[in-house]
Structure 1
Amino acid sequence: MFKSLTSTLALTIGLSVGLSASLPASANNASHSISAQLEQRVIDWRRDLHQHPELSNREFRTSALVAEHLRELGMEVQTEIAHTGVVGFLRGGKPGPTIALRADMDALPVTERTDVPFASTAVGEYRGNEVGVMHACGHDLHVAMLMGAAEYLAGIQDDLAGNIMFIFQPAEEGAPGDEEGGAELMLEEGIFAEHTPDAVLGIHVWSAGNTGQIGYRRGPLMASSDRFEIRVQGQQTHGSRPWGGVDPIVAAGQIITNSQSIVSRQIDITKAPAVLSFGIVEGGVRNNIIPDEVYLEGTIRNFDMDNRQQIFEKLTHTAEHTAQSSGATAEVTIHEGYPVTSNDAALVDRLMPTTLRVAGEDNVHENALVTGAEDFSFFANEVPGMFVFLGITPPDQDAASAPSNHSPYFYADEDALKVGVELFINWVVDYPQQ
């Protein structure tokens, strides 16, 4: 998850006012709670997965474990979707809607630095290099929570109104190299074709929140994430005679500077925030040679899809014309990534009584916008979606200073697992009644 996410992101801790005053009668229903035995099974699954992490599109062991579990529960199971994805389908005993629950399965090329007894020592290949592999973003918790919810819900199958899709998704962190993967490929391969869900629900663990805290938001929650490349072509010459060629370094510097005015001066940021950042500047091999070319690369984040397209167009225009003014040329390539992750407001409101009841009103907070990105967005663009954050930093620690998602020191309090499992269960049970 959270491409280029920094540890400065934190949950907003102001409760939305007036929520409890308008709860429907179903909010007073007793919550479904998991047994201590099932909670321990979820913890055991999580620790096993944490000790055996797998990179994107390489989740072979993980998907086999998931598929075997779902089959043992008597579900219809599809495998090898988007390479390693698994989907289980549970038919309730009563007519009703179809709800999709999603967990992502892949780990990161990060060498673990925690001292937990089940720390990962796994290695893998990433961009041609041998790397450590770690569940540094908590996808092991996501898989374990959804496996636990599947077991509980299969046990009350006859009482369920409607059907449930359990989506175990590979490659949320991005498919390697030129491969395809993730939510987008699962949809292309038709997971919603035969059974189109009425809603899709997801939970992501979040080190910036304390254990059991829930961060929600109506509408945009996480940013779109797009990568751009700019190749600035000049004409090589000796550094002592810059007039003898065209300097792409100067042109690249002007492009970087001029591009900062796109967000600050050319986009209506009253609609939504946006970020345009350069992360790579490469060019030249010697101090006294002006090179032929400079390569630039960066990221674009925003929360409005119309603004997104305008930024693409204005970046291309700015780079090309800035280079041209120096006698150079600029070739701009934009690689569209994940769209904005946006929560359906009606769905959030529909399930808010359940969320408050399960997590506790004091633990449910409206989240700030997050400039990280998530490919849950593809699912939520197809059907109404709701994606929430689940805090996993122990209550006696300052969540704002906890190691962030993607850190080699990322740590999760396993007490949060029970909250996540019970949210999945109760959302499914309550949805037809709300």
Structure 2
Amino acid sequence: MGDLGAWLKHAEPMLHETRAGVVTERGRFSWSALLEKAQRIAAELPDPPHGWVVPGDGGERSIVALLALGLREPSPRWVLGDPASWCADGAVTAADGALTAAGAHTAPPSDIDGPTYATASSGSTGRPKLLFGRPHRMPSAVELYVDDIPEYASAEVFATSAAIDFAAAFYMVVAPAMMLGRDLVLFRPRSWQVAIPELAGRPGVCLAPPAITVLGARVAAGRRSFRETWFVPAGGGLTVERAEHISAGFPGSDLLTMLGSTETGILTLDRGVRDDGYVGSPLPGKPVWLENVGPDGVGTLWTKGPDTRFAATREELTARADGAVSAGDLAHAAGEGFVLDGRTEDLVKVDGVSVYPREITTAVRALAGVEDASVSVERSRNADRVTVIAVGDVSEKRVREACRRLPTPVTPHRVVCRPADKAAYDARGKVLRTEKA
């Protein structure tokens, strides 16, 4: 497997010297102080048979645990996620409880050897899964972002409202801050007062779902300058209207809109907000291409690079021997970039007609007064039953009319309209779905 040494070793001197640190609701903690704790833990850390679980709650203890694992030689296997899901029964703990021995069910597929790490995700299915990568590829992933995204190279602070086991938060915020020795701000969606003072007036990158960033814009209320702050909308759902709200509350800020997934890392990048499905062009250092292109020019996006994953448990990851992966995104070429057309697994049958849920959410989000929308599909009956959830000031009648005006008209089984407040979202900033429709 090649080098089995500490994957964070090259960053150790920088973390000792930097004045930057980790900021949470509990305060500021210098990288040097956290590193000293991690070094003591790494020196005494035992070797459980299936590696370690690091909680994804985003506290400073989780960061100390990550640092300890990154300094450990030989490099151990580890999982970033909910300990209740991934630990062994009666598991051994370390690092004041921030590390817990993993269970056998966290192991990668049997043909995968050498050091691995995994981020935990339930995706859109609700079935827990682990997606594996090589920890020794993370420095290359950070280098890719710094080389190809100037905003990353100049950032003094990286911030996120997402739990750090969310792959985008870990790869695009936690790992760069850790390996570059920059400030790392971890805050809950309802705690923008932690992040706003750290972002104001400094070059920085902040990753949060669009709806959560709009909430943050209301807290900031245009009282400070954010001229060098770049917001990365996580999870999709960025509209022109939302971008205007963000700019009003965070004056001077800009948006880095990216297409990517847990499996593929970043696919494309754009610095504008468009409503025509254009998702930007690939990073110069990361190839992205279409395969299985049909007569209409639509094909499946594929990529390979240091931020991709190569194995999954409990759910198959589309991967190839050459390292290429795909999450099933459908797109067609547009100049040097791509226009997104949906996802292969999203296709459902409604009254015998093929429909992509993304088309429904786009149509509902375009309604005046709507700040967010989500679509869920129940497949446990003889036919797919669609529930549409609209967040904002809108009526069920208008939502149904928007669905009927789609190129392929849809009649939702249920429409739920909710006010645009914090109660409409879960802890990760995603629209809360209803109970069984």
Which structure's relative contact order is higher, taking Cα pairs within 8 Å and 6+ residues apart? Answer: 1
Same-fold status (TM-score > 0.5): no
Task: Identify, as 1 or 2, the structure richer in helix.
Answer: 1
TM-score, length-normalised on structure 2?
A: 0.23
